[in-house]
Amino acid sequence: MSQVTIAEPVSYNSLENRRIVQDAEAVKGHAAVAGVFTGKVQALVATVKRWRPSVVFASAYLVVVLLMVAVPQLFTKFDPVENDLLSVNQAPSAAHLAGTDYLGRDLFSRIVYGARYSVGIGLAVTVFALVFAVILGTLAGASRSSFVDNVVMRVIDVLSSFPSILLALVIVGLTGSGIQNLILALGIGSIPGLTRLIRAETKKIILSDYVQQSKTFGLSRFTILVRHVLPNSLGVIPYMVTMSVGEAIIGVSGLSFLGVGPQPPTPEWGTIIADSRNYLGVAWWSGIIPGVVLVLTVISFTVIGQAWQKSFEGRD
C-alpha cells in the first residue's frame, strides 16, 4: 500500500512575517549604503569648508583652463590663426573680448587655443619626468646596494648642476626645435628634483616600523616593495605633479618666447607674448592679458599643490 504524504498547510502569518523581515533587511541595507554615501559627502563638504579662498579660486580657475584645453570651441567662435588686417591692434571690446594683435587675430581665441599647447605640453613634460623619476627614485631608495644608489644619485647630481632652462636650451640646440624635442628637453630637466623626492620618501618608508615588521613574516623583498613601499611612497605624487606642471608651463612659455618652442602662427602663450613685444606701446593688451593668464595658471597650480602637500603631511 503506497504511503501518501500530506503537505502541511502554509501559514499565511509565517509568509507575512518572512516578507516583513526581508523588507526590513533591505531597508537596513539601503540605509547602510545611504549612510556611507552621506558620510562621504559630509567628509567632502568638511574638507571644502576647510579650504582657503585662494584654493577655491585656484580650483575654479583651473577647471576653466582645463576646459579650454579639452573643448576650446566652447569659449570662442574665432579661428586663432585667421588674419584680419582691417582689425589690427583693436582694444578689448564686445566683439573681441581681449582685443586683437598686430595681424588682426582675435587675442581671446589665441589665448583659449593656446592653453592646449602650454598646459598640454606642460602636462606631457611632467608625465615624462615622473615616469623616469619613479623608476630612478625607487631604484635608488629601495636598492640594498649602496653602489646602485650612488650611481643613480651621481647622475642626478650631474643633471641638476645645470639650470633647467639652460639644460633645455642645450638639448633643443642639439635636437632641433619642435614640440617633441621641447618635451624631451624640459622633461630631462625636471627629472632630478622629482627623483630626489621619491628616493627620500622610499627610504623613509623602508625604514618604517610596519615595513620592518613585514620582513619578520617572511615576505619577499619584491612583495614588500610592491605591497607596502610603492603605494605609500607614491603618495607624494599628487602634489609633486601639480607643482611640477606649473614649473613646466613656465619652461614651455619661456622657451617659446625665446623662439625654440612651437613656431608662429601656433597660438602658444609664450609665442603670443613674444609676438607682442614690438607693439606694447600701442597695444598693451596683446602682451599683458596673455601674461596675466599665464601667471594665474602657474599660481593656481602652485596653490593647489601646496594645499595637497599640507594635507599629505597632516598640516592644516
Q: Is residue 33 part of a domain?
A: yes
- Judge if 187 and 297 occupy the same domain: yes
The structure's pTM equals: 0.78
Per-residue pLDDT of the chain (316 residues; tens, 9 = 90+): 445 444 445 444 555 555 555 555 555 554 544 454 465 455 545 555 566 788 889 999 999 999 999 999 999 999 999 999 999 999 999 999 999 999 999 999 999 999 999 999 999 999 999 999 989 998 898 887 788 899 999 999 998 888 888 888 888 888 888 889 999 999 999 999 999 989 988 888 887 777 777 777 777 777 777 777 777 777 778 878 888 999 999 999 999 998 888 888 999 999 999 999 999 999 999 999 999 999 999 999 999 988 887 776 665 5
If asked whether residues 149 and 18 sit together in one domain, one would say: no
- 310, 252, 239: which is closest to 123 by C-alpha? 252
Both 238 and 128 in a single domain?
A: yes
- pLDDT of res. 233: 73
Q: Which domain holds residue 231?
A: 55-312
Asked whether residue 28 falls in the same domain as residue 81, the answer is no
Q: Residue 298 domain-assigned?
A: yes
The pLDDT value recorded for residue 10 is 45
Find all residues with CB under 8 Å of 196, minimum gap 6, and list them: 137, 156
Yes or no: say if 274 and 256 are a contact pair by the CB < 8 Å rule: yes
- Do 60 and 156 share a structural domain? yes
Q: Which residues pair with 219 in a beta bridge?
A: none
Asked if 100 and 137 sit in the same domain, the reply is yes
Residue 46 CA, distance from chain mean position = 23
Phi, psi of 106 (to 5 degrees): -65, 120
- Looking at the domain assignment, is residue 211 inside a domain? yes
Q: How confident is the model at residue 269, as a pLDDT?
A: 95
CA 154 – CA 140 distance, rounded (Å): 11
Considering the domain architecture, whether residues 170 and 190 belong to the same structural domain is answered as yes
Predicted confidence at residue 132, as pLDDT, reads: 94
Contacts of 249 (CB under 8 A, 6+ apart): 118, 119, 121, 122, 294, 297, 298, 301
The answer to the question of residue 206 being in a domain is yes
d(CA 212, CA 200): 17
| Cα gap 164→80, rounded to integer Å | 31
Q: Does residue 289 form part of some domain? A: yes
Residue pair 229/198 in contact (Cβ under 8 Å)? The answer is: no
- Phi, psi of 51, deg, nearest 5: -65, 140
What is the CATH classification number for the domain harbouring 245?
1.10.3720.10
- For residue 6, is it within any domain? no
Residues 93 and 202 in one domain: yes
Number of compact structural domains in the chain: 2
In a domain, 186, yes or no: yes
Q: Is 284 in the same domain as 194?
A: yes
- 29/145 same-domain check: no
**20-53: b or e for each residue (b if 16 or more CB lie within 10 Å)?**
eeeeeeeeeeeeeeeeeeeeeeeeeeeeeeeeee
Q: Which amino acid is at 151?
A: V
One domain, residues 37 and 84:
no
User: CA–CA separation, 22 vs 29, rounded Å?
Assistant: 10
- Residue 237 sits in the same domain as residue 107: yes
**73 within domain boundaries:** yes
Q: 100: which strand partners?
A: 106
